[in-house]
Structures are given as structure tokens and as C-alpha cells.
Amino acid sequence: MAENKTQPTRASVKAFLASVPNPKRRQEGQTIAALMEELTGSPPKMWGPTIVGFGSYHYKYASGREGDSPLTGFSPRKDALTLYIMGGFDTYEALLGQLGKHKIGKACLYIKSLEDVDLKILKKLITASVKHMRKTHPEP
């Protein structure tokens, strides 16, 4: 079975964030990193070359594929700040309705600018997602 592409690395989160070309996106990345570290109680770690992750959980699919993934994380991409809400969005409709301007994918929350969202609601969303992941994927 193929190994997961996104693995934790020893790369420096601080250096990665400092290398983000767009100064606004760089600052937003630093803001989200501090926020996620506070909410998870876990230090940031690079997962692959562009994802900053916090904590981890182990998953195993019915197919037999298994691996580890961050509890939550983000990537300061060119077009949007991408936040990884690992439990998905099925139970967060009310929070998303209050969040502000955003788009979602299966487990990705895309934010063009932190100015477009309510940070208090974003904190609630991240906290709820991490709590859900810790409940459904307890550490061994």
C-alpha cells in the first residue's frame, strides 16, 4: 500500500511562514499558527512542505489504508488561507453561517482574508473540530 504523501517533517514552521512571499498572507499564517497552538495545546509541526499541523490522530479505513494526520492545520496558499477542519463540516452549519466570507471543500475551509471572518466564530469552529477528532480518534 502506498505511503501517505503528507508526512510530518523536521522543517522549521517559523522559517516556512517567514518564507511566504505575500506579507499579508505571511502575517495571517502567523496569526493562525498562534491561534491553533493556543486552541490545541500542541506545537506547530510541518506536514509535508506546505502544511502547518497541530497534534495528530491515527486513522484506518475499511480498505485497510491507515496513517496519521494533523488534528487541524492550515496552509497559507497564494489564493486563500486554507484551514483543515478534519471532521468535515456536517455539524458546523450554524457556525459557518456566522463565520463570514469563506468557501468550503470536504475538509478545507478557504478564507481569502482573515478580515472577512469573525475570529471568535473561527475559534469556536476549530475548537469544535479538534474536540470531535479527539473524541472519535482517541490517542492509544
HEC per residue, the chain: CCCCCCCECCCCHHHHHHCCCCHHHHHHHHHHHHHHHHHHCCCEEEECCCEEEECCEEEECCCCCEEEECCEEEEECCCCEEEEECCCCCCCHHHHHHHECCEECCCEEEECCHHHECHHHHHHHHHHHHHHHHHHCCCC
pLDDT of residue 59: 83
pLDDT of residue 87: 80
pLDDT band at 140 (very low <50, low <70, confident <90, very high): low
pLDDT digits (tens, 9 = 90+) for 55-95: 999 888 788 888 889 999 999 999 999 999 988 888 899 99
Query: Which CATH architecture is the domain 13-134 placed in?
Result: Alpha-Beta Complex (3.90)
Domain ranges of the chain: 13-134
pLDDT digits (tens, 9 = 90+) for 2-16: 566 788 999 999 999
pLDDT digits (tens, 9 = 90+) for 94-132: 999 999 999 999 999 999 999 999 999 999 999 999 999
